[in-house]
Structure 1
Amino acid sequence: MLVYVDDILITGNNADFVQHVISALNKIFPLKDLGELHYFLGIEAKSLSDGKLLLSQSKYASDLLHKLNMQDAKSVKTPLAPGCKFQSAGTEVAEDPRLYRSVVGALQYLTITRPDLAFTVNKLCQYMHRPLQSHWKIVKRVLRYINGTRDHGLLFEKSHNLHLIGYCDSDWASDQDDMRSTSGYCLFLGSNMISWMAKKQQVVSRSSTEAEYRSLAALVAETQWLKSLLTELRLKVTTPPLVWCDNLGAVMLTTNPVMHSKTKHFELDLWFVREKVAKGEIVVKHVPTQFQIADLLTKAPSSNQFLTLRTKLNVHSLSTLSLRGGVRGKTDNTSVG
């Protein structure tokens, strides 16, 4: 059950029990049952004929574009130009800093169903205090990208397993102002992505291995929390979560019991992951860089690579999915509230 103010979303694998809960609540509170879910807190849910579910924010994106008079803007393939670097100096201050903060804040909410925007929006958020004209140009590029991908969203489908599989990555010393790295990870439950992150690291990493290990530790912490949550929901995860990392040095550190002087400054992360690996609570393996899905959450790749990784993050277009299997259901609001 999900409750937000006076809006309630109830779901389950037993229709009779769901109806029983609604009836029990209705005896205490006046409720209006709106039927099958289609719209909730700005998120649209489209049920596909093959049992899949697409969560998108096309109306929210359209409203944002109309507000800025960019509904007819020419679209681009990626939200960020390949190899684009952010800096806190170099151009004049943005003409309207308040507008910049408002739009970037709105883009943050859009990342709920658009992980392909997570990295770019995270970078833009780092300049809220003093946005430049160059940053505002990037915001406009993001809006042009959104204009061409309004119907894109996060796809969910029935999964035959509840295995937790994660990918972690980092872009070492990518920040031009303070040389801090960017961490990124994505976590799948079966075939569905349920958690992701793109975030600037809080301290400077002295090597690429250290930067990767910090990302790895963040993902391990997330898997442990989700594993605990699934246990509370009475969903047993029998197979240890699997984490894929493309830095061989970081992978080797997870099983190497010897302490080195070069690892003392991130000793807590080091032992945290090692302990989980030693107990068999998590498995860490190496993946070649070309198969690293989390790459999209740490940098701006080429257009072709971006489109490939976007699909692997389960971001799809409603029109493409409709051509494959068709869409059923109505378009009105159908949450319980």
Structure 2
Amino acid sequence: MGELHYFLGIQVTKAKEGSLILSQEKYVGDLLAKAGMTGCKPCTTPLPSSIRLFAFGGPAFTDPRLYRSVVGSLQYLTITRPELSYCVSKVSQFLQHPLEEHWKLVKRVLRYVSGTSTYGLQLHRVKDMIVTAYSDSDWGGDPNDRKSTGAFCVFLGKNLISWSSKKQSVVARSSTEAEYRAMANLVAELLWIKHLLHELKIPLTKAPMIYCDNLSAVLLAANPILHSKSKHFETDLHFVRDHVNNKTIQVSHIPGSVQVADALTKALPSRSFLEFRSMLNITDAKLFFSKSNDKFTKTGTKRSIEDLESREHEEVCKEPTSKERKEED
């Protein structure tokens, strides 16, 4: 079958030192054409940092079916673009009754995607199988119901293998509670990853490390005293603490300036967003097109993908020859 180049809308580009870049340039082009945004002016961030989205209070969008279709397509794009997780999660909260203001923000996301269509997730060849995770939350960030957004990202060596940006189901009464709930969701994800690696016969040399920028949440994970302020999220408290005491999970504090999961909880200024995007291993695949030995050259990427798709279609639809019919008989 040869080397992998293109699969389910994801193109694979070889980079330096045996690494791969997973991108969706052709998929982005089709998405922009669907939304009528082909050739739009690009922007540096998917959402403005001062954004406040309200569920009501404006004119309804005239084509809610188009809104749902475009946002659904953006959700598939997050497979190779984790930095889009927060903005896509945010605009997905208004699928039932989208407003004109919501559609304007979707077009802002499409402008960012248009300018970074060749970007993708880079996977490195690594030997050190150490799991590192980052957990963060935006306390009361939703102006409609004051629920928090929890997020995490998990690295295996240098590779980002799992990430999430999700609105929490209950209102947190403190920033510590919001951070701890996000940490509990991350612990559950790490346990699943550990079991998966065990089934794949991949040993872990160290217990997974969780980095959190909320010092109170970090201290609460190791403190055996049950404070009165934590009784309203006691289940999550014991869940995380049991795994910390059993040394299956480690928790440590880091400053917010290097908290990479911050890009998955809120809209950031362009400088911070670009720094965290780089830390998430989002790279421009176009830089490696001309250096690659495969069919994906800088000038013929789109043509190569179309050739591969047409060839696959011809192999499926072609009529069998007389010799093949005799063999089948």
Q: Does 1:303 align with 2:270?
A: yes
Partner of 1:216: 183
Bigger mean CA deviation after superposition, 240-249 or 255-264: 255-264
Deviation at 1:260, TM superposition (A): 1.7
Letter of the structure 2 residue corresponding to residue 268 of structure 1: T
Instruction: Indicate which of 151, 161, 165 corresponds to 2:128.
Output: 161
Instruction: Indicate which of 241, 244, 250 corresponds to 1:277.
Output: 244
Partner of 2:174: 207
Partner of 1:44: 11
Q: Distance in 2 between matches of 1:93 and 1:175?
A: 20
Partner of 1:95: 62
Larger Rg: 2
8 Å Cα contact 2:120-2:283 kept in structure 1: yes
Q: Does 1:146 align with 2:108?
A: no
Letter of the structure 1 residue corresponding to residue 127 of structure 2: H
8 Å Cα contact 1:171-1:181 kept in structure 2: yes
Q: Does 1:186 align with 2:140?
A: no
Instruction: Indicate which of 7, 11, 22 corresponds to 1:55.
Output: 22
SS of the aligned residue for 1:116 comes to helix
Deviation at 1:322, TM superposition (A): 5.1
Partner of 1:71: 38
8 Å Cα contact 1:91-1:132 kept in structure 2: yes
8 Å Cα contact 1:49-1:328 kept in structure 2: no
SS of the aligned residue for 1:254 comes to helix
8 Å Cα contact 2:17-2:125 kept in structure 1: no
Superposed CA deviations along residues 70-92 of structure 1, whole A, max 9, x for unmatched, are 11100000010112111112211
Q: Distance in 1 between matches of 2:34 and 2:227?
A: 55
Letter of the structure 2 residue corresponding to residue 329 of structure 1: D
Partner of 2:327: none
Deviation at 1:160, TM superposition (A): 2.3
Instruction: Indicate which of 134, 141, 146 corresponds to 2:101.
Output: 134
Instruction: Indicate which of 104, 107, 117 corresponds to 2:74.
Output: 107
8 Å Cα contact 1:80-1:142 kept in structure 2: yes
Partner of 1:330: 295
Letter of the structure 2 residue corresponding to residue 320 of structure 1: L
Give the % identical residues.
50
8 Å Cα contact 1:49-1:327 kept in structure 2: no
Partner of 1:293: 260
Structure showing the higher helix proportion among its residues: 2
Partner of 1:13: none
8 Å Cα contact 2:14-2:288 kept in structure 1: no
Q: Distance in 2 between matches of 1:282 and 1:68?
A: 44
Partner of 1:233: 200
Q: Gaps spanning 5+ residues in structure 2: where?
A: 297-303, 317-329
Higher relative contact order structure (alpha carbons within 8 Å, sequence separation ≥ 6): 1
Q: Gaps spanning 5+ residues in structure 1: where?
A: 1-33
Q: Distance in 2 between matches of 1:303 and 1:56?
A: 22
Superposed CA deviations along residues 104-124 of structure 1, whole A, max 9, x for unmatched, are 001000000001110000001
8 Å Cα contact 2:74-2:88 kept in structure 1: yes
Partner of 1:5: none
8 Å Cα contact 1:79-1:117 kept in structure 2: yes
Q: Distance in 1 between matches of 2:105 and 2:16?
A: 38
SS of the aligned residue for 1:275 comes to helix
Q: Distance in 2 between matches of 1:57 and 1:319?
A: 12
8 Å Cα contact 1:168-1:185 kept in structure 2: yes
Q: Distance in 2 between matches of 1:290 and 1:48?
A: 29
Q: Distance in 1 between matches of 2:66 and 2:286?
A: 32
Letter of the structure 1 residue corresponding to residue 271 of structure 2: N
8 Å Cα contact 1:48-1:328 kept in structure 2: no
8 Å Cα contact 2:134-2:259 kept in structure 1: yes
8 Å Cα contact 1:54-1:156 kept in structure 2: yes
Partner of 1:22: none
TM-score by length of 1: 0.87
SS of the aligned residue for 1:50 comes to helix
Bigger mean CA deviation after superposition, 66-75 or 112-121: 66-75
Q: Does 1:248 align with 2:215?
A: yes
Deviation at 1:50, TM superposition (A): 2.4
SS of the aligned residue for 2:26 comes to helix
SS of the aligned residue for 2:42 comes to coil
Letter of the structure 2 residue corresponding to residue 94 of structure 1: F
Q: Distance in 2 between matches of 1:68 and 1:301?
A: 25
Q: Distance in 2 between matches of 1:83 and 1:285?
A: 30
8 Å Cα contact 1:153-1:316 kept in structure 2: yes
